[in-house]
Amino acid sequence: MTRKSLFFRASISFLLFVALTCFQLRALAESDAPVVIELFTSQGCYSCPPADKLLGELKDVGNLVVLACHVTYWNYLGWQDTFSRQFCDDRQRNYQAQLIGNPGVYTPQVVVSGRYGAVGSRASRVKRLISLANTNTPARRIKLSIATDGQLKIELPNTQASQVHRLWLLGTSGSHLLPIVKGENGGKALNYHNPIEYVADLGSWTGHLKTLSKDVTENSNIQEWVVIAQTHPLGGIAAAGKLTLPQ
């Protein structure tokens, strides 16, 4: 086989891959089943910016619920991650016992639907897992709205399952361009998308129709609210929803 033939085959394979990826993302945009993507990242992680960029590309796609969980364990390298929290360290560590694919505590790590793990900068792998979750383990949609009194209204669906789920309310203020002064990314200005900045444990839920309310009137910095229901204590995500507030 000639070099020209090899180049031609490689080009066709690449074009087919791009076409398939675009088709998968269009299908996700039309789907009603939410897919939760969590990126475990850090401002002090040299290999994380490509994964942070990918998260920014995914955050406005159809039914995707996209969050960045900034860990604390790289803060010792000389830069204190402004979004880092112990909640993210604990959450990532607790995932490892049941994660399918690329388990371990590292950054950048993506967890899709609480079930599938991948290196967060490997775009093709991440998008395949999103498609897999959307097809094989679709989550139910949680409806979120703001009531006239400013309370966050949470309408939980009927999952037709008797499992106990843990409910998490998470909040983010959206995208940020930040100068990183020290550490492995020192001297750079980097974009970060949907960092978790608010966490509340809403307790347990048995998968039946239920409506909750939560006072969020003092959290004016939050631009998007997310509710996640996953098998107790930390497993597959059975239902999720998000509410993006007007600017």
Domain ranges of the chain: 31-244
What's residue 5's pLDDT?
47
pLDDT of 205 higher than 80: yes
For residue range 142-157, what is the model confidence (pLDDT) as tens digits? 999 999 899 999 999 9
Q: Give the least confident one: 42-51, 89-98, 186-195.
A: 89-98
The whole-number pLDDT of residue 231 equals: 87
What is d(CA 240, CA 139) in angstroms, rounded to the nearest whole number?
7
Identify the bridge partners of residue 55 per DSSP, sorted by sequence position. Answer: none
Distance between CA 182 and CA 43 in Å, rounded?
10
Q: What is the residue-averaged pLDDT of the chain?
A: 89
pLDDT at residue 29 in the model: 45
For residues 131 and 25, which has the higher predicted lDDT (pLDDT)? Answer: 131
Q: What is the pLDDT of residue 12?
A: 45
Confidence of residue 26 (pLDDT cuts 50, 70, 90): low
The pTM assigned to this predicted structure is 0.87
Length of the chain: 247
Is the pLDDT assigned to residue 20 strictly greater than 80?
no
Q: What is the pLDDT of residue 75?
A: 97
183 closest CA partner among 47, 83, 45, 82:
45
Residue 65: pLDDT over 60: yes
Between 1-15, 176-190, 221-235, the lowest mean confidence (pLDDT) is in 1-15
Q: What is the CA radius of gyration of the chain?
A: 19
The residue ranking higher by pLDDT, 133 or 6, is 133
19 pLDDT more than 70: no
The Cα–Cα gap between 88 and 71 comes to 5
